[in-house]
C-alpha cells in the first residue's frame, strides 16, 4: 500500500492566490455592483442571488438560496472531506449610507475564498462551505442560522471585514437591546394638570437615573439610548412615551448585569411618575463577544504579513457583530483588512466610497487570498487540524 504524502501547504497557498487573481475581474465587478445597489437586512434579494449564482458556477459545488428560514441566506458547498471549513459572507447595507460598513468587500472576499478553496477540497481532506448571512447590522442573521442548524458540522468559521487599518481580529462587545413604553394619562396641561400622569416625566427620570448609573458601570460596559416617543402638543400632559437602549459589555455575563442596571432605572422612572411600564429586554437575539482563537489568528497574521500587510494586534473592544455568536460555537477568525486610512470611520458615506474604490478592491482580493490561505493552513497543520476535529476544538485564546 502506497502511503499518501501530506499536501504541500506552500504550493496550495500559491495556487489559491493564482485562482483569486484569475477571478479578480469578476469579483471586483460584483463588489461594485453590490455597493451600487445597497439593500437593507433581510431585503438583500439581489446580492444574495448574485452570490449564489456565482458560487453555483464552481464545478462540483452545490448552492442553495433560502436556507435556515431566511429567504436571503444561502449555502454553497464543495468537497466531502471530514474537516468542514465555513466561510461567512455578509451583504446587508445601512440606511442612508449604503455600504458604509463595507459588506460588499466581505461578500466578495468570501466568495473569492470559496472559488479558491473549492478546487482544493479533496487535497485538503475538507468540505468547503460558503454561508451567506443576511442582516448582520440589524437582525443577527447568523444567530438565526445557528439556531436553524445551518452551521452544524462546522469545525472552523472564517470571514474578513474591512476597516481603517489591518488588525488580526475585531474585538467586539457583546450587545443587546432594551425597550420601554411608559403609560400614563393625558390631561390638559393648564386646566386639569392634576388629572394627568406624565409619561414623559417617567422617561426623564429614567434617563437621569441611567446617566447617574454610568459612574458605577463596570469596565467595558456601555449604554446607548434613543427616544422613540415623547408626547405631542406642549399643552397636553403626555400619556405615553417610549425609548430604546443598546447595552454592550465584554462578556455575556457582564451584559446581563448592565441590562439589569438599565431595567432598574426604567422601573424607577415609572414608579416616580406613577406610570405603568412595558419593558422588553432582548434575550434570544443578543450578539455575543468574540472568542478569539490564538492559533487561527496567528495563521491569518502569518499569511497577511507574507502578503505585505502588517496587521495590528487585537485592540480594545469596539462595535458588535453576530460573528461573535458563531465564535462561541466554533473556532473562528474575524480579522479587519485595512483600507489604508486610519482616520476612516465605519458606518459613514466616506467609508462606503472607500470600500468601493481602489482600496476596497485591494481588500477584496487580498481578503479572499488570505481567507483561502488561512483555511489551507488549518487543514494542513497537523496540530491545528487534530484539535479542530477533536471533542475539544477550542484552543488557547488571545
What pLDDT does residue 196 have?
Answer: 97
Q: How far is CA 53 from the centre of its chain?
A: 23
Q: Distance between CA atoms of 312 and 282, rounded to whole angstroms?
A: 33
Q: At what angle are helices 45-56 and 103-117 packed, to 10 degrees?
A: 10
Q: Does the pLDDT of residue 97 top 60, yes or no?
A: yes
Q: 7 falls in which pLDDT band (50, 70, 90)?
A: confident
Q: Do 37 and 46 form a contact (C-beta atoms < 8 A)?
A: yes
- Predicted pLDDT of residue 3: 44
Q: Which helix (H) or strand (E) holds 324?
A: helix 323-329
The pLDDT assigned to 1 comes to: 39
Mean pLDDT for the stretch of residues 125-150: 97
Average pLDDT over residues 94-114: 98
Q: Is residue 374 classed as helix, strand or coil in its secondary structure?
A: helix
- CB–CB of 288/334 below 8 Å? no
Parallel/antiparallel/unpaired status of strands 336-338 and 161-163? parallel
Structural domains for the chain: 9-172+288-389 (3.40.630.10), 174-281 (3.30.70.360)
pLDDT at position 2: 39
pTM here is 0.93
Residue 94 confidence (pLDDT) above 60: yes
Tell me the helix, strand and coil percentages in the chain, rounded to 5: 45, 25, 35
Report the percentage of the chain scoring pLDDT > 70.
98
Amino acid at each position: 500500500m502506497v502511503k499518501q504524502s501530506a499536501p504541500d501547504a506552500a504550493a496550495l497557498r500559491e495556487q489559491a492566490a493564482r485562482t483569486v487573481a484569475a477571478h479578480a475581474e469578476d469579483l471586483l465587478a460584483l463588489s461594485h455592483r453590490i455597493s451600487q445597489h445597497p439593500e437593507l437586512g433581510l431585503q438583500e434579494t439581489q446580492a444574495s442571488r448574485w452570490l449564489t449564482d456565482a458560487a453555483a458556477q464552481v464545478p462540483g459545488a452545490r448552492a442553495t438560496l433560502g436556507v435556515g428560514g431566511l429567504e436571503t441566506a444561502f449555502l454553497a458547498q464543495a468537497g466531502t472531506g471530514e474537516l468542514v471549513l465555513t466561510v461567512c459572507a455578509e451583504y446587508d447595507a445601512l440606511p442612508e449610507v449604503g455600504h458604509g460598513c463595507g459588506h460588499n468587500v466581505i461578500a466578495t472576499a468570501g466568495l473569492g475564498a470559496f472559488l479558491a478553496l473549492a478546487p482544493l477540497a479533496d487535497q485538503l481532506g475538507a468540505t468547503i462551505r460558503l454561508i451567506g448571512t443576511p442582516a448582520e447590522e440589524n437582525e443577527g442573521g447568523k444567530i438565526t442560522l445557528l439556531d436553524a442548524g445551518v452551521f452544524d458540522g462546522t469545525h472552523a468559521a472564517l470571514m474578513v471585514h474591512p476597516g481603517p487599518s489591518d488588525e488580526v481580529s475585531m474585538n467586539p462587545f457583546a450587545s443587546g437591546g432594551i425597550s420601554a413604553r411608559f403609560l400614563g394619562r393625558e390631561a390638559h396641561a393648564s386646566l386639569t394638570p392634576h388629572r394627568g400622569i406624565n409619561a414623559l416625566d417617567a422617561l426623564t427620570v429614567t434617563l437621569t437615573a441611567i446617566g447617574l448609573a454610568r459612574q458605577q458601570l463596570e469596565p467595558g460596559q456601555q449604554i446607548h439610548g434613543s427616544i422613540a416617543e415623547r408626547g405631542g402638543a406642549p399643552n397636553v400632559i403626555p400619556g405615553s412615551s417610549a425609548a430604546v437602549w443598546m447595552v454592550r459589555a465584554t462578556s455575556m455575563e457582564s451584559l446581563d448585569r448592565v441590562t439589569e442596571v438599565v431595567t432598574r432605572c426604567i422601573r424607577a422612572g415609572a414608579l416616580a411618575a406613577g406610570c405603568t411600564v412595558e419593558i422588553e429586554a432582548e434575550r434570544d437575539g443578543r450578539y455575543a463577544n468574540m472568542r478569539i482563537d490564538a492559533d487561527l489568528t496567528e495563521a491569518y497574521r502569518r499569511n497577511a504579513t507574507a502578503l505585505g500587510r502588517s496587521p495590528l494586534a487585537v485592540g480594545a473592544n469596539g462595535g458588535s457583530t453576530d460573528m461573535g455568536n458563531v465564535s462561541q460555537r466554533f473556532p473562528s477568525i474575524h480579522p479587519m483588512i485595512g483600507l489604508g486610512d486610519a482616520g476612516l470611520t465605519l458606518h459613514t458615506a466616506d467609508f462606503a466610497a472607500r470600500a468601493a474604490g481602489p482600496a476596497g478592491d485591494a481588500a477584496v482580493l487580498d481578503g479572499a487570498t488570505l481567507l483561502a490561505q488561512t483555511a489551507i493552513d488549518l487543514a494542513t497543520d497537523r496540530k491545528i487540524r487534530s484539535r479542530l476535529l477533536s471533542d475539544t476544538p477550542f484552543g488557547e485564546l488571545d
